[in-house]
Structure 1
Amino acid sequence: MIEVTNETRYYISSLSETAQSFAERIRGYWGVENKVHYVRDVTQGEDKSRIRTTPLTQSFALARNFSLNLYRDNMFENMAQAQRLCSFGLDILKRIFRMK
């Protein structure tokens, strides 16, 4: 059974905008966090990576973002499922991402 919770957060700001637009800004931030950072950290194991050499960290981050964009461009909604499917080999990748 799924437990539903409700949290209240309080923010202090000097911005001169409505509460509605401020709330939309905050939700937008968490949308990016959930859509990109969480997937890179959990699904792609970025936090577990032992790569620490400067040019390699940026290269692997670029590759992770590129793969996420490919998955989303090909209408995958579940990134873990897309990653599992695409890890089966080059033939599956060719079928999924056939050149147009």
Structure 2
Amino acid sequence: MRVWPLAAGSGLEPWHDHFQCLIEVTRTTEIFDPARKTFVPRAEQPALYLCTRQASAEELAQAIRGHWAIENQLHHVLDTALAEDACRIRRNPGVFAGLRHLALNLLRANGQTNISQALYRNALCLDLVLNYADVREQ
């Protein structure tokens, strides 16, 4: 990760002055090669970020990782365990999205870490669902 401070007036537009630094992140990723039956490194272009405040590389790295934590802990779970992307509801989809978020939040508030397994257990026994603690009581 590299961080470059940006001087005021370095952009072409007046709103460019809000940016304080440019961040370059180089990621190392591996993909599974079935022919070799092993993981091989994959070359990626560096990701560039603009930041509106000065910060150290460690602070900026934490902020970027925090963003991806949201993606991995929320959106990925909604897509895989709750099949949000496969949903074909076209009228008032926000209602069902809210219900999915409510279910996920209720499971997490009651200590469930593996959402897919928790959904399966709850589908088998309705008593488990009815015995969850009210989030407001905690």
- The answer, yes or no, to whether TM exceeds 0.5 is yes
Q: Deviation digits for residues 24-74 of structure 1, max 9, x if unmatched?
A: 111000110011000001110011111112x2x111111111111111111
In the TM superposition, residue 6 of structure 1 has moved relative to its aligned partner by 8.7
Name the % identity.
31
Query: Comparing 4-13 with 69-78, which one deviates more in the overlay?
Result: 4-13
d(CA) in 1 for partners of 2:111 and 2:87? 27
AA paired with 1:90?
A: L
Q: Going by fraction, where is strand more abundant, 1 or 2?
A: 2
User: In the aligned structure 1, how far is the partner of 2:68 from the partner of 2:109?
Assistant: 21
> Aligned-residue CA RMSD in angstroms?
2.6
The TM-score, its normalising length taken from structure 2, stands at 0.59
Where does the alignment leave 5 or more consecutive residues of structure 2 unmatched? Answer: 1-36
1:19-34 aligned at under 5 Å gives the runs 19-34=57-72
1:79 and 2:115 are equivalent in the alignment: yes
Unaligned runs of 5+ in 1: none
CA distance in 2, matches of 1:4, 1:94: 47
Compute the displacement of 1:11 (Å). 2.6
Moved more, 74-83 or 5-14: 5-14
**Structure 2 CA distance for aligned equivalents of residues 2 and 74 of structure 1:** 38
- Alignment match, 1:93: 129
- Higher helix proportion, which one? 1
**Number of residue pairs aligned between Structure 1 and Structure 2:** 97
Alpha-carbon distance in structure 1 between the residues aligned to 2:108 and 2:120: 14
For the residues of structure 1 that align with 2:70 and 2:96, how far apart are their CA atoms? 19
Q: Which runs of 4+ in 1 moved over 6 A?
A: 4-8
Residue identity matched to 2:59: S
- TM-score, normalised to structure 1, is 0.79
